[in-house]
Chains A and B, each alone.
Chain A
C-alpha cells in the first residue's frame, strides 16, 4: 500500500492508497452521510448520499466506491452536495412513516440522524406512500417494508456474508420491495434467523421482536463481553436496562466475529432472567432435587466418582465435553479425565 497525500475539505491528509475516500474521511473525523454503506459489505452505490466533489472530475463521485489517489482534492460538504443530499433524504422521508415516537429504531436510526444532520425541517415532496401490511409470523424478526429505504444492506449481508440468499428485490420502480422467495414468511424460507439483517438495517424496517418496547438505546447500558454459546468467542455487546439484558448487539468490524453473530448469540438471551433458569446446583435428596452449595455439590460428585472408580475401574467412567467451553476448558477436561481419573474415555459433543 503506497502512501498518498490527499486534501479533504482543505485538510492535508496522509493516508494509504486502496482506501476509499469514505474510509479516509471517517478515520479523520470528517462526516460523510451514508445509508447503504456497511464496512462488512462491498460498495453498492444506491443511496447516493456520499457523493463528494473531486477536483478534475466532471460529476460528483461516490466516497464509498472511490479510492484515494495522490494529490486528490476532495470537497465533502459543498452547497450543491448539501442540496442533493437534502433532496435525497426528503425523497426517502416522503415515503417513510414518520412514527419515530414509537419506532423501535429511534435513537439508532441512521435515516433519523442524517435528517437531523442535514437540518431537514420540512419535506418538500409529497405523493403516494406505501401501506404494506406487516405480516411475518416468526418470533424473532419484525419486518416492516413501509420503513424500508431499499438500501439493500439486508439483501447483501444475507448474500455476501451469510450466503443464505433469503432476501432479494422484487418489482420495479416505486413498487420495488425487498422480499423473500414467493413472499413467504421468513420461517418458510432458508432463513437461519441469525439477525444479521437486523444488525445492518439503517432504519426500523428490521427490528427484534424480543426487545420491542423494552428500552430506548439511550436508556440502556452497553457491556462488551464474549458470547457464552460456543468456543468461537464472538465479541458481543449486551444492552441492559435496570440490570436486565434487553438486546444483544455487536460492534461492526470488531472481535473475531467482525461484528457478525449467529442466531444463538443474538437472540439466545431470554434464559438470563428466566424463572426456570438454574442459578444454584441441585442435589437429589430422596425423590426431590434440592438446592445445594457448590462445595456440597462438588464434594458429592468427587465422592461418587471415587466410589465408582474404586468399584468398577477408571474406564467405567466417561467424560463428554462441550463446544460451549473454550479450548482451555476442554483441555482441562481431558487432563482431568486422563490424569486425575485415569481414563481415555473423553469425547466432545462436536464429534457426535
Chain B
C-alpha cells in the first residue's frame, strides 16, 4: 500500500505548479498492472532521474486494448503517442529517442495522430460514451474529471431541472439497464420515485461476476466519478439521500479508486449535506461483496448488503417498492449509471439517435477468447456482430476459423457463424436464444469443443447456484453430469433428449435469473451445434480434440522415422517400436497427455 501511495504522489507531481511540457501516462488498470505496468513505471522513474529529463509521470485507467498492455502514452508538443506491450527494457529507448531526441519509435507505436497502425481501427470504429474518459484521465484526480465537464450534469439538474423532468429525460433517452435484463432505466426511476417511503436508496450494482466480463471494473477503475455522478443524479431524481455501491471484493483497485473518488467528491461538496449548496443531500457507502455470483441478482444483492446470506427472494414486492431495509430502492448497473451524466449533458435526443428503435445508446463488450485484439469494445446498439469480432477485434487469432461466440456470459448463448450478421440489440439477441447479459463475448475457433464449452459454463452456474430452488440447484447439477458424460463418451441412450427437456424445465421453473438463464449455453449449443453432440454420442469422437477421453493419438507410418523421442517423453510407456522403425501407441496404456505429439520432431503424431 505504501508503495502505491508513494507512486501515487510521484504520479501527481507537478499539480498546482508549472507543468513540465512532456507527460508519460501509464495505463494502471488491473489489466495493465497484471501485465507489469508498475515495473514499467519504476523503470521510467529511474530513467527520467538518470537522464535528468523533466517529464510528468501520470497514471490512467484501462483504455480497453487488453492485448497491448502495458500501454504508455507519451505526450509532447507534437501530440500524444501510445506505445503498446511496453516492458522495462524498452523504457530507456523511449526516453532517449522520443523524449530527448523527439523521434517517436515507429515500430512500437500503437496509436498516435498521423500514424496508421494495425490497432487504429480498434478505437476508431468504436463509439465511446461510457468509456469516454477511460484511459484518458487520471481516475484518482477529480480535477481531471472536472476538466472533461464532469459534475456539470449534476450541477445542471440540481439547479435547473426538477426531479420528475430528470426522469423524463432518461425515459426519452431510451436508456435500458446494462446489467443484463434491459429494463428501461427511466421507468425504474419513476417507480421508485412514486413508491411510498420516508427513505429511499439508490444502489449501484458493481457485482460483475460473469466469467469474461470486465467492463464495469474498467469503468470503476478508469472513471469512477462518472458512476458517482450518475448515482447522484439518480438519487436526486428518485428522492434518495443515500446510495450504496455493491462491488466485488475481488476488485481491490476499483474499491480503492472508488474510495478516493468518494472522498474527493465529499471534499468538493458534491457528496454529503447540501450538495453544491442546494437543498439536496446525498452520500454513498461502499459494500464489498464476498464473491457470490448470485449476489448480482437484485434481491440477493439487497440481502447481502443487509448482512444476510445472498439468496434471491420472491418478487413482488419489487425493490422499487420494498428494497434495502424494506425501503424503496433503485438498483442500477455501473454501465447504466455511467451513461446518465452524458445523457443529461448532451440531451436525450442525442442519445436516442444512437442505436436501434428499441435499444438506444451504446453497449460495451468485453471481447475475449480466440480473437486477435481482445479488449473492451463500445459500439452503438445495432452494430453487427461481425463488425465487433472481425471489424474491430481483427478476426480470429492465428488466422483461425471462427466457430462460435458466447454472448452474455454463462447466462447467454452460443451463436454460430451463420448468425454473425445479426445486429446487437436486446431483441435480436434474445430471439437467437442468447441474451445481451452484461456484455461478455467469448470467441471460439475450431479448436473449441462446443459440448465442452457448454459444460464449462454449466459447471460455473451450478457451482454458483444459491441452492434455494430445486430446478436450479439440482437441475443444473444433473445437466452438468449429463454433459460430462457426453464429453467422456459415457452417454446413456436418452441423455440428449433428457438434457433438452431438463434444460427447458429449469429455464421455466427456476426462481431467479440465474436458474432461468443457466440452461442457455446448453440450449443454444444444442440448437446451433447439435451435430457436435451427435458426433460425441454416436461416434464417441470429439472433432476439436478437446475431450481427452474421446481422443486417440496415432502415429503416421509415412512420417515416423523411429527416432524414439516420443518413447522418451511418454510418461506411461505406451509407445513402443525398434529404433529407426515406425513406432506404435498402445491405446490401452495411453493417458492422452499429448506429450508425444508435442515433442515429435517430424509431426508424425496426430489426434483423431
Q: Give me the interface of A with B, judged by CB distance under 8 Å.
A: 43-48, 51, 59-60, 62, 65, 83-84, 87-88, 91-92, 94-95, 124-128, 149-150, 152, 168-169, 171-176
Q: Is the interface of A mostly helix, strand, loop or mixed?
A: loop
Which stretch in B173-181, B318-326, B445-453, B466-474 binds the other chain? B466-474
Residue of B whose beta carbon sits closest to that of A45 = B314
User: B residues 301-360 with Cβ under 8 Å of A?
Assistant: 309, 311, 313-314
**A-side contacts of B468, CB under 8 Å:** 46, 150, 152, 169, 176
Roughly how many angstroms separate A175 CA and B292 CA in the complex, as a whole number? Answer: 14
- The residue in A43, A45, A169, A171 that gathers the most chain B C-beta atoms within 10 A of its C-beta is A45
Which stretch in B99-107, B139-147, B378-386, B503-511 binds the other chain? B503-511
Judged by a CB distance under 8 angstroms, whether B218 is at the interface is no
Tell whether A174 pairs with B473 under 8 Å between CB atoms, given A62-B314, A94-B478, A169-B467: yes
**A-side contacts of B463, CB under 8 Å:** 172-173
**A-side contacts of B113, CB under 8 Å:** none
- The residue in B464, B465, B470, B511 that gathers the most chain A C-beta atoms within 10 A of its C-beta is B470
**A-side contacts of B464, CB under 8 Å:** 172-173
Judged by a CB distance under 8 angstroms, whether B410 is at the interface is no
Cβ-defined partner of A51 (8 Å) among B311, B313, B477, B509? B509
**B-side contacts of A124, CB under 8 Å:** 494, 498
- Could you tell me if A92 and B467 are in contact, using CB atoms closer than 8 angstroms? no
A-B contact pairs, 27 of them (CB 8 A): A43-B314, A45-B314, A48-B469, A48-B471, A48-B509, A48-B511, A51-B509, A83-B501, A87-B471, A87-B502, A91-B474, A91-B478, A94-B478, A95-B474, A127-B481, A128-B481, A150-B468, A150-B473, A169-B311, A169-B468, A171-B467, A172-B294, A172-B463, A173-B464, A174-B467, A174-B473, A174-B477
Roughly how many angstroms separate A125 CA and B471 CA in the complex, as a whole number? Answer: 12
Cβ-defined partner of B469 (8 Å) among A45, A125, A126, A127? A45
- Could you tell me if A127 and B478 are in contact, using CB atoms closer than 8 angstroms? yes
Cβ-defined partner of A48 (8 Å) among B311, B462, B466, B470? B470
- Could you tell me if B474 and A174 are in contact, using CB atoms closer than 8 angstroms? yes
Roughly how many angstroms separate A302 CA and B403 CA in the complex, as a whole number? Answer: 100
Q: Scan B440-463; emit 1 where CB is below 8 A from any A CB, else 0.
A: 000000000000000000000011
**A-side contacts of B413, CB under 8 Å:** none
How many A-B pairs have beta carbons closer than 8 Å: the answer is 101
**B-side contacts of A174, CB under 8 Å:** 462, 465, 467, 473-474, 477
Judged by a CB distance under 8 angstroms, whether B475 is at the interface is yes
Q: Give me the interface of B with A, judged by CB distance under 8 Å.
A: 292, 294, 309, 311, 313-314, 462-471, 473-478, 481, 494, 498, 501-502, 505, 508-511
- Could you tell me if B470 and A88 are in contact, using CB atoms closer than 8 angstroms? yes
**B-side contacts of A43, CB under 8 Å:** 314
- Could you tell me if B473 and A176 are in contact, using CB atoms closer than 8 angstroms? yes
Shortest A313–chain B CB gap in Å is 63
**B-side contacts of A48, CB under 8 Å:** 469-471, 509-511
- Could you tell me if B470 and A125 are in contact, using CB atoms closer than 8 angstroms? no
Residue of B whose beta carbon sits closest to that of A124 = B498
- Could you tell me if A88 and B467 are in contact, using CB atoms closer than 8 angstroms? no
- The residue in B294, B309, B464 that gathers the most chain A C-beta atoms within 10 A of its C-beta is B309
Roughly how many angstroms separate A94 CA and B498 CA in the complex, as a whole number? Answer: 14
Roughly how many angstroms separate A57 CA and B496 CA in the complex, as a whole number? Answer: 30
Roughly how many angstroms separate A92 CA and B314 CA in the complex, as a whole number? Answer: 21
- Could you tell me if B466 and A172 are in contact, using CB atoms closer than 8 angstroms? yes
Cβ-defined partner of B508 (8 Å) among A59, A150, A152, A168? A59
Shortest B126–chain A CB gap in Å is 36
Tell whether A47 pairs with B470 under 8 Å between CB atoms, given A124-B498, A168-B309: yes
**A-side contacts of B462, CB under 8 Å:** 173-174
Shortest B496–chain A CB gap in Å is 13
Residue of A whose beta carbon sits closest to that of B465 = A173
Tell whether A84 pairs with B466 under 8 Å between CB atoms, given A45-B314, A173-B473: no
Residue of A whose beta carbon sits closest to that of B311 = A169
Shortest A74–chain B CB gap in Å is 17
Shortest B430–chain A CB gap in Å is 13
Shortest B316–chain A CB gap in Å is 9
- Could you tell me if A84 and B505 are in contact, using CB atoms closer than 8 angstroms? yes
Cβ-defined partner of A46 (8 Å) among B292, B469, B481? B469
- Could you tell me if B314 and A94 are in contact, using CB atoms closer than 8 angstroms? no
Cβ-defined partner of A92 (8 Å) among B470, B502, B505, B508? B470
Residue of A whose beta carbon sits closest to that of B515 = A48
Residue of A whose beta carbon sits closest to that of B309 = A169
- The residue in A48, A95, A175 that gathers the most chain B C-beta atoms within 10 A of its C-beta is A48
Cβ-defined partner of B505 (8 Å) among A87, A95, A152, A172? A87
Q: What are the nearest 8 A-B pairs in CB distance?
A: A176-B467, A127-B481, A91-B474, A87-B505, A45-B314, A174-B477, A125-B478, A173-B465
- Could you tell me if B474 and A44 are in contact, using CB atoms closer than 8 angstroms? no
Residue of B whose beta carbon sits closest to that of A80 = B508
Roughly how many angstroms separate A126 CA and B466 CA in the complex, as a whole number? Answer: 21
Shortest A308–chain B CB gap in Å is 62
**B-side contacts of A125, CB under 8 Å:** 474, 478, 498, 502
Roughly how many angstroms separate A88 CA and B505 CA in the complex, as a whole number? Answer: 8
Roughly how many angstroms separate A284 CA and B508 CA in the complex, as a whole number? Answer: 75
Shortest B293–chain A CB gap in Å is 9
Residue of A whose beta carbon sits closest to that of B293 = A172
Shortest B325–chain A CB gap in Å is 17
Roughly how many angstroms separate A163 CA and B466 CA in the complex, as a whole number? Answer: 23
Shortest B508–chain A CB gap in Å is 6
Tell whether A172 pairs with B467 under 8 Å between CB atoms, given A44-B314, A46-B511: yes
Shortest B125–chain A CB gap in Å is 38
Roughly how many angstroms separate A169 CA and B292 CA in the complex, as a whole number? Answer: 14
**B-side contacts of A87, CB under 8 Å:** 471, 475, 501-502, 505, 509
Shortest B58–chain A CB gap in Å is 42
**A-side contacts of B466, CB under 8 Å:** 172, 176
- The residue in A84, A152, A169, A173 that gathers the most chain B C-beta atoms within 10 A of its C-beta is A173
- Could you tell me if A150 and B467 are in contact, using CB atoms closer than 8 angstroms? yes
**B-side contacts of A91, CB under 8 Å:** 470-471, 474-475, 478
- Could you tell me if A47 and B469 are in contact, using CB atoms closer than 8 angstroms? yes
Roughly how many angstroms separate A46 CA and B313 CA in the complex, as a whole number? Answer: 9
Shortest B308–chain A CB gap in Å is 9
**B-side contacts of A176, CB under 8 Å:** 465-468, 473
Knowing that A169-B468, A171-B467, A172-B466 touch, tell me 6 more A-B residue pairs with CB under 8 angstroms.
A59-B508, A88-B509, A92-B470, A92-B474, A174-B477, A176-B467
Residue of B whose beta carbon sits closest to that of A127 = B481
Shortest A80–chain B CB gap in Å is 8
- Could you tell me if B508 and A65 are in contact, using CB atoms closer than 8 angstroms? no
**B-side contacts of A47, CB under 8 Å:** 469-470
Residue of A whose beta carbon sits closest to that of B485 = A127
Roughly how many angstroms separate A51 CA and B498 CA in the complex, as a whole number? Answer: 21
Roughly how many angstroms separate A205 CA and B511 CA in the complex, as a whole number? Answer: 23
**B-side contacts of A62, CB under 8 Å:** 314
Roughly how many angstroms separate A94 CA and B475 CA in the complex, as a whole number? Answer: 10
Shortest A160–chain B CB gap in Å is 13
Shortest B522–chain A CB gap in Å is 15
**B-side contacts of A51, CB under 8 Å:** 509
